[in-house]
Amino acid sequence: MTTATPRPPALPRALVVPTPIVRTARPDEAAALATLSQPFAHSGALRERPLSLYAAHAADFLVLEAPDGTLDGCVGLRAYPAEAGEGRELAGVVYNFCVAEHRQGSGAGAGLLRAVLATARAQSLGALFTATTGGAGLFLRHGFTPTTAHRAPRPWAESLDPRRNARVLVRRG
């Protein structure tokens, strides 16, 4: 007599949901970066930037690429050398941080911020600065604290528009 062990019923296959990718932007994506940023610039949440800036500084940007190839978010990170004679460390500035409306609240912004923090660590940036006209909750939850612009890299601090009344935040190493 042969006895076979009954097979367990087949389990339903898990739904495979394509995962967005965070990667460095390419120069040919300048128009997509500008398009993604435009609603935020129009609302006053971001400064208006020309297409030429996105093209020239594409390597500054991390992007959240959707499975269909569209960009659902971006964030810039620019490193500034330590200023001679002031004892300042190599610092970075997080800028032009935006997430497409349909991805807001999904963790996409937190994922982009974690990626930019990892990039800053890899570049040995001792401090990260940002300026925001929003509530700053995401930045505060990730270790940023309020500071003043005079502690930030001078070229960036001098570029801030005082009429925007942005809060300057810093995150140390």
Rounded CA-CA distance 99/107 in Å is 10
Percent of the chain with pLDDT over 70: 86
Per-domain residue ranges for the chain?
21-172
Exposure pattern of 112-135 as b/e (b: 16+ CB <10 Å)?
A: bbebbbebbeeeebebbbbbbeee
pLDDT tens string 98-144 = 999 998 988 899 999 999 999 999 999 999 999 999 889 999 999 99
Q: What is the pLDDT of residue 12?
A: 54
Q: What is the pLDDT of residue 17?
A: 52
pLDDT tens string 34-72 = 999 999 999 989 999 999 999 999 999 999 999 999 999
Rounded CA-CA distance 93/161 in Å is 15
Which residue, 155, 33, 135, is CA-closest to 92?
Answer: 155
pLDDT tens string 1-36 = 555 555 555 555 555 556 779 999 999 999 999 999
Rounded CA-CA distance 93/114 in Å is 14
Rounded CA-CA distance 101/91 in Å is 30
For domain 21-172, the CATH class is: alpha beta
